[in-house]
Every structure is written in structure tokens, then in C-alpha cells.
Chains A and B, each alone.
Chain A
């Protein structure tokens, strides 16, 4: 009998918790924004980083009095990185919570699933981090704060010609990863346009750790630059092994290379001289970036990742659009008229953000600059904004 009583007690507690949680969400004198992102599951770190940064921005705005005297309330729902959950969360936000806009989702697949539905409803949607090309293609209502994958690849090709005076290039990429192979395609395409000759194009698969066969082929072709579109752990291994076999080429990475100096037990000499593209640089002296950095570190005790910076920017762009709509005398509520007004303001975005100055092109993709980071003396240094 005791166990039954315990069970009953546990259930009773949970029920009470649900009731209280239900109460906390009440009150119609707030402006509701919905957040969808992975807070549990394999990609939870991305969602949590973005959500932290959004809360940081929204809390600071609320301290200043919110928008038009009303506080902003961020209603967060977990999607586990799964499209079905994301669509459920979206439907709940729009039909039950009646939000004025959506921040999210974080990863591309759930974002596309939500974008298809939100295009039908014309609900303003700002995804901070979904880099897939199709995300903004379903309607005029979807915007993003990040650049697209192909943009990084083509920029690195241009950068190597303009800034490093490279004539020949080689590519080594992960064939089983959409991100890596997509970047390789855009790099090679742009290389053709800017007169950079591709002398070697090598692939590897997901769990490979020995790249010497590919690197030896590349060394034989002796390129000026080697483009490595992959995450930091593989960038580190490839960089170390290319130094071992005496490859002359300068290594070029992309945003995934961020973190290459944080690998435990790694020797920074192995990645010395690496250039990589990133969303922002912690070295950037601007007040906005430094304010964000110190605020985030103070609140969460760690250096914000690029995803956090993008989450912060997403919240900032959306809130400034809401401010403009509120300033024009429109009451911020969940209605078609407000949705359209917010979308129009988002479209007209022209502001400085943590990850650079942002305006939107006709496809609602941001026109912004990349930060090129160089690893020098074991430190990330901002080489230039490109």
C-alpha cells in the first residue's frame, strides 16, 4: 500500500506543478514571442545557447521598460531537433498562446517544417541559425540572422584570391555531411569564377581519423591554399597531419572550425596560421559585441558561442521590428494585420548587430559581413571583416 501512496503523491505533485506552470503563463498585458528550439536531445547545446542569449536580450529590454510600456514574454518550447515536435510546438504557440512572432527553430529540418506552415498563416518568423538555403523560400514571412552555407564557401574562395594572392587551391571534405559537401561545392564554384585553380579535391567519410593518404595526394599537387569545410575536431587533425607531411598550403576553415583552440590536450602550434570564417569575433572592439560578451559571461559563466550571438541578434532584430510597429500606434496582438506590419518592419531591417551590420535581400536572407579569424600565437585574432 505504501508504494501506491507514494505513486499517488508523485502524481499529485506533478499535477500541482502543471497547474502552477499554467498560472505563470497568464496575463494578457505582455507581448508574447514564441521560441522553438532543441532544449533536450542530441543538438540541445545549440538550442540552449540561443535561448540563453535571447533571454539575455529580452530581460535587458524588459528592464528598460519593454516595448511601449509592456514587458516581453518569451514562451519557449522544446522540439528535440525533431520536425514533428517543432510543428506541434508551432501550432500550440500560434493557436493556444497567440504569440505575435516566432523565434526559431534552430536546426534546419524543424525550421523548414515550421516555415512551410507559418507561410500559410503569414506569422512573422525569425530563425537565428538555420543555414539551409530553402528555409526562407516558402513565404515572405521567414527571416534569418545567419548567413547561408554557400556564402561562406564562396567568400573563402574570394578571400584567398584577394587577400592571400592564391593561384591554386585544394579541397578536403566530409562526403557524408551535407554541411561539408555543400560548402565544398560553393567554394569550387566560386573558385572557377575568380580564377582560382582547383588542383586537388579529396573526400573522406564521417569517422575517418587518418587523412594522410588524401593529404599526400594534395601535397603532390602543391596548392597555395587548402580549404577544409568541417568542424573543429577534424580541422585540428587535418591541420596536424598536413604539418607532419610538410604541406606548404595555408589552411582555410569555416565557422565549424571555431573551437579549434579549445580542444583538450591540443597543441596550438598545429593550427598556427589557420584562417577561418566566423559569424563574429570576440576581439571585435565594438560596444555592442563587448556588451554582449560581458553580459553573457556574467549571466551564464561561459564565452558565448556563435549560436548564442546569432540568437541574441535574432531577438534584437525581431524586438526592434516590434518596437517600430508599436511606435506606429498598432497594438501588438496576434492578428493578421500585426503579423503583416511586423513582417514589413523586419524586411526594412537596417541595423548593427553582434554578428555584423544586417539588411535583408529580396529573399529575406541577410546581407552581412563575415569575420575572418586567424590563429596567431595560439590565439584567435580578428584578421578582418570581409
Chain B
């Protein structure tokens, strides 16, 4: 059976790793050679942390089937935690920055658990309202605390974020969440989405898994926040309002709830779109919204629905297609 080349998990990992490295190599070379100017490189970085945000929200929204409206809240917690960490310590960037991101992620995850435990005992609309409330509370608390700089925000962070580390963290996020979904835990999470009562009847501890998925989702939002904080080097609490949460949710819904490739494509597209529409000046927000409306009318399940992309399978299919005529000829 030579048809299926990438059947084993190991071979697929190798194939994916090679593809990721190749993509990184190409983009990096283009940035270094100036084929992609700084404007384009900046957009790629913005797209990078938007991908992390959308993919992590997709875990809670698409795979777990909840409707969290406070993702920007987790992002802001991570952003402030990691910014305060790097501002407070004088360490080498290579050590300090990854640590700061992990701390940002962990603090956000703690908040995820704190919010998740009471909130996830409820479902549907209640969860949406609680997370919405949380997002606003976090923003107001940050606005009124002195060590977060209040309304002035935080600044003076070093510009640690660059294309390489944003790319690495985006890949890690995708890897962790896609393997999580395919694991036993992920199946439990999917079962809760499909039918919570049936899942509970089958012995799945639903509250545990819901909180777990929620915390993982919050963790990566926190990491994205850390990357954001060290990319722009200024944090302003008003950035993380309700509209930011909605913006991330739009990426997930547009790409398809439950499709990782959908979140990646939508996050990338929705980052570039407003920039491509700059020529429209004041009308670009209308055009942007119009495009969203059109997609939702013509493709209500999102661009990709629940489809997910697998490089190994695609390559295999390609080989099968290539060989099929030969086989027919042989028979």
C-alpha cells in the first residue's frame, strides 16, 4: 500500500514541521530582502497574534460550543501581566520575554478558571452575559488601578515581539489546540458540544472539561496579549473593550466555528482587509461590514464550516488522484 504515505502520526508530524519551516523560511527571507516592506511585515505580525486569538477563542466557541464574549478581557490580563513582568525585571530579552509570555498566559488562565467555574455551570446566553460582564469589569479594574497606569496605560516596554517569535507562538498555539482536539480530552470537549446531557450520561465530567477548555483558551489569549504589548509598546485599557472581543468572535464565526484553518484564514483576512480598503477612507468600515454581511448570507456556517485541513491527507489524496488513471489502465 504505497498510496497512503502519511498514515503514521510520526510521518505526518515530519511533513507538517517541514511545511511550517518552509513557510517560515520563505516569509523570513522576503522580509529580510525587503520584498515585504515594514508595512507588510507589521501586518503579518498583527495577523499573527490575531490568529492566536481567533484559534484560542475557537476552542471555547467552536469546539466547546459556548459563546464567550470576553476574550479581549483575557487578552488584556495577559498583556498587562507580561508587560508588568518585563517592566519590573531587568533580564536578558531572550530569557525575559518567553517567561513574560508564559506568565501572561498563566495569569489569564487563572482568570479563565475563576470565571469558568461559576459561569460554565450555566450555559448558552448566561455564559455569554457573564463573560461579557467579566470583560468589562477587567477593563474598568485596570482603568482604576495605579500599578496598571490607570487611564494613561502602560508604556516603555521593550520591542521584543518580532516576526520570528510571533510566528513560533502562532504555530505552538495551532499545534497544541489541534492535537488537543484529536486527543481523548478533545473528544470529550466535542461530545459536550454535540450533546451535553448525553456526554454527562456517558461519564464525561462536563464542568471539568468545560473549565479546562476555557482555561486553555484564556491561556493563549493571554500569550497573544503579551505579544501585542511588546509589539506596540503601549497599552491602553480602552483597546480591550467589548468591541475587541466581538472582533475576535467575528473572525471565528467568519472562518467557521470548529474549523482551525477557518480561524487562521479569517484572522489573516480580517487583519488585511481594513488595510486593503484604506483607499475608501471613511467608508472602509461600511465596506468591511458589507463584506461580512455578504459572507454570512452566502455561507452562513462560515467560510470553512467545520472542515479542517490536514496536510498529510491532502498530499495522500493528491497521490491517489495521480495514480488512479494508471491503475485503471493496468486493470
Contacts and interface: CB of A to CB of B under 8 A. Distances in A.
A104 to B, nearest CB: 15
Nearest to B151: A178
A22 B199 CA distance: 56
A112 interface: yes
A95 B37 contact: yes
Given A7-B298, A109-B153, A109-B234, A88 B39 contact: yes
Contacts of B143: 176
A96 B278 CA distance: 13
B42 interface: yes
Given A83-B239, A109-B234, A109-B236, A91 B39 contact: yes
Given A85-B274, A91-B38, A40 B285 contact: yes
A77 interface: yes
A203 to B, nearest CB: 12
Contacts of A385: none
A9 interface: no
B287 interface: yes
Contact of A92 (B46, B150, B155, B278): B278
Secondary structure dominating the interface of B: helix
Interface string B141-165: 0011000001111010001000000
B94 interface: no
Contacts of A83: 232, 234, 236, 239
Contact of B152 (A18, A94, A116, A178): A178
A78 interface: yes
B46 A88 contact: yes
B279 interface: yes
Interface string B123-152: 000000000000000000001100000111
Secondary structure dominating the interface of A: helix
A271 to B, nearest CB: 26
Contacts of A78: 278, 281-282, 284
B275 interface: yes
A379 interface: no
Nearest to A177: B151
Given A83-B239, A85-B274, A22 B279 contact: yes
Nearest to A86: B232
B234 A88 contact: no
A96 B37 contact: yes
Contact of A116 (B39, B234, B278, B290): B234
Contacts of A113: 232-234
Interface in A68-118: 76-78, 82-85, 87-89, 91-92, 94-96, 109, 112-113, 116
B122 interface: no
Contacts of A77: 278
B280 interface: yes
Counting contact residues on chain A (CB < 8 A from B), the size range is 35 or more
A176 B144 contact: yes
Interface string B241-275: 00000000000000000000000000000000011
A23 to B, nearest CB: 10
A327 interface: no
Interface in A15-70: 17-18, 21-22, 39-40
A181 B236 CA distance: 17
A88 B298 contact: no
Interface in A170-212: 176-179, 181
Contacts of A92: 39, 275, 278
Contacts of B150: 178, 181
B89 interface: no
B310 to A, nearest CB: 31
A243 interface: no
A266 interface: no
23 contacts: A10-B290, A14-B287, A21-B280, A39-B281, A76-B281, A77-B278, A78-B278, A83-B232, A83-B234, A83-B236, A85-B274, A88-B43, A88-B275, A91-B37, A94-B39, A95-B37, A95-B39, A96-B37, A109-B238, A109-B239, A112-B155, A112-B234, A113-B232
